[in-house]
């Protein structure tokens, strides 16, 4: 069960993580999702993980790097799955689905744990720190490149600039709606219940696919 053969030099996640290191990641992931990156102290993390305060600094170097490691461990498989799904996608609906579904599937998978994955993801989209946000940007470079190409093929007549913008709208709508979904009931004053993830998914794909296609060959122009 040795993972040492992987050898990913640039990755934040080191190979063969020590038991303590892994426990720190698990605890940090849960606490960060629940309370946000800044609200969780290293003392709270290390206490719950049964480790010493200095363990974080030893294994990760800083709280910032711990945050980056937690994010990377979640984002990497999501983005890999996105690229897999994109292979068979030909129209706008399928492209949007390839972008959205891995996130929602992961959300459902971690549903037993209270779905803290969604909270964590949406906290990332608003990364308060320039260093963290730059790290995330690197993680998304390949995904952006491939999805821009796919959208360009499926929606002929759009400039590269417009395609990039529409992908940005797509990512934003997804991230924000996941983040604020639970606030729908509050802000609508009872006129609307927070829908399930499957409803959200279908509505999101319909909405975003329409936006991607508009003004192109087989989309309406309004």
Partner DNA sequence: GTCTATACCACGATAGAC
Partner DNA sequence: GTCTATCGTGGTATAGAC
- Contact between 199 and its own copies by CB under 8 A: the answer reads yes
Q: Which of residues 44-83 bind its own copies (CB under 8 A)?
A: none
| CB of residue 20 to its own copies, shortest distance in Å | 27
State CA 60 to chain mean position distance: 22
Q: Measure Cα distances from 145 to 39, 142, 191, 201 in Å.
A: 34, 5, 40, 23
Residues 40 and 32: beta-carbon distance below 8 Å: yes
- Contact between 129 and DNA by CB under 7 A: the answer reads no
Residues 18 and 11: beta-carbon distance below 8 Å: no
- Contact between 153 and its own copies by CB under 8 A: the answer reads no
Nearer to DNA, 72 or 132 (CB): 132
For 148, half-sphere exposure in the C-beta direction (CA atoms, 13 angstrom radius) is: 14
Binding segment for its own copies (CB under 8 A), chosen from 1-9, 13-21, 105-113, 121-129, is 121-129
Instruction: Annotate 120-155 with b (16+ C-beta within 10 A) or e (fewer).
Output: bbbbbeebeeeebeebeeebeeebeebbbebbbebb
Count residues contacting DNA (CB under 7 A)? 23
**Residue from 31, 37, 150, 154 that binds its own copies (CB under 8 A)?**
37
| CB of residue 186 to its own copies, shortest distance in Å | 6
**Residue from 56, 70, 167, 205 that binds DNA (CB under 7 A)?**
56
Residues 68 and 132: beta-carbon distance below 8 Å: yes
Exposure of 25 by Cβ count < 10 A (0-12 exposed, 13-18 middle, 19+ buried)? buried
Q: Which residues bind its own copies (CB under 8 A)?
A: 36-39, 92-93, 122-123, 125-126, 128-129, 133-134, 137, 140-141, 144-145, 148, 160-162, 164-166, 168-177, 179-181, 183-184, 186-189, 191-193, 195, 199-200, 203-204, 206-215, 219-220, 222
Q: Which residues bind DNA (CB under 7 A)?
A: 18-21, 40-44, 50-59, 61-64
């Amino acid at each position: 069960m040795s993972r040492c053969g992987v050898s990913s030099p640039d990755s934040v996640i080191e190979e063969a993580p020590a038991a303590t290191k892994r426990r720190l990641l698990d605890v940090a992931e849960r606490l960060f999702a629940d309370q946000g990156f800044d609200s969780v102290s290293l003392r709270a993390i290390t206490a719950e993980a049964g480790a010493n305060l200095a363990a974080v600094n030893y294994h990760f170097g800083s709280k910032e790097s711990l945050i980056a490691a937690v994010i990377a461990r979640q984002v990497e498989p999501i983005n890999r799955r996105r690229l897999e799904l994109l292979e068979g996608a030909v129209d706008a609906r399928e492209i949007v689905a390839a972008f959205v579904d891995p996130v929602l599937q992961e959300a459902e998978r971690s549903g037993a744990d209270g779905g803290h994955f969604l909270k964590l993801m949406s906290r990332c989209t608003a990364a308060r720190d320039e260093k963290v946000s730059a790290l995330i940007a690197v993680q998304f470079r390949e995904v952006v490149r491939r999805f821009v190409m796919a959208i360009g093929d499926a929606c002929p007549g759009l400039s590269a600039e417009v395609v990039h913008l529409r992908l940005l709208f797509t990512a934003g709508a997804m991230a924000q709606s996941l983040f604020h979904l639970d606030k729908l009931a509050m802000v609508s004053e009872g006129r609307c219940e927070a829908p399930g993830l499957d409803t959200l998914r279908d509505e999101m794909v319909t909405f975003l696919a329409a936006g991607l296609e508009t003004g192109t060959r087989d989309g309406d122009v309004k």
